[in-house]
Amino acid sequence: MENFKACEKEMKTKAFSKEGLASTKMDPKEKAKLETRKWISDMLDAVSTQMETIDAELEAMQVANKKPKKGELEALEHNLKGHKMHQTKLEIILRMVENDSLEPEQVLFLSSNEKEPEQEKANAAVLFDVVQFL
C-alpha cells in the first residue's frame, strides 16, 4: 500500500511545481562528473592559493632590498613554475572531463588518497600520464 501511495504521489506531481523541481533526479554519470569537476576545481583553488603565497614571498624579497640567498630565490621560482604547470594540467583535465574525453572514474580514484603525502605525488604522476597519452 505504501508503494502505491508513493507511486501515485509521484505520478500526480506536476513537472514544474516547486515539489517537482525540487525532486530532480541526477543520472549517476552526471553525478560522478559533477563530483569530479568539483574536486578538480578545489585542487585548482588550492594551487592558485599556493601560487599567490609564493608570489607574495618573492615580492617581499624584492621590496626588502635585501639580497636573498641564491638558492632561496631559485627554489621559489622553481616552485612557482611547477605550480603553474600543475594548474595548466588540471585545467586541461577539467576540460577533458567536461567534454567527455576523460571518464570521471579515471580522476576520482585519485581524490580518495589526497591526504597522504607520498600518495599525492604518485597520484599526480598518474594523472599527468593520463593527460599525456590522450
Q: Is the pLDDT of residue 134 over 80?
A: no
Domain count, the chain: 1
Q: Could you tell me the pLDDT band of residue 115, with boundaries at 50, 70 and 90?
A: low
Residue 15 is assigned to a structural domain of this protein? no
> What pLDDT is stored for residue 117 in this prediction?
46
| Alpha carbons 61 and 67: distance in angstroms, whole number | 8
Q: Is the pLDDT of residue 6 over 90?
A: no
Residue 128 is assigned to a structural domain of this protein? yes
Average pLDDT over residues 1-17: 67
Average pLDDT over residues 74-92: 90
Residue 121 is assigned to a structural domain of this protein? yes
Residue 1 is assigned to a structural domain of this protein? no
Q: Is the pLDDT of residue 52 over 90?
A: yes
Q: Is the pLDDT of residue 54 over 70?
A: yes
| Alpha carbons 126 and 134: distance in angstroms, whole number | 13
Residue 83: other Cβ atoms inside 10 A: 20
Provide the sign of the torsion angle of the four alpha carbons 130, 131, 132, 134, taken in this order. positive
Range of the domain at 113: 28-133
- pLDDT averaged over every residue in the chain: 76
Residue 5 is assigned to a structural domain of this protein? no
| Alpha carbons 55 and 41: distance in angstroms, whole number | 21
Residue 117 is assigned to a structural domain of this protein? yes
Q: Could you tell me the pLDDT band of residue 111, with boundaries at 50, 70 and 90?
A: low
Residue 78 is assigned to a structural domain of this protein? yes
Average pLDDT over residues 38-55: 91
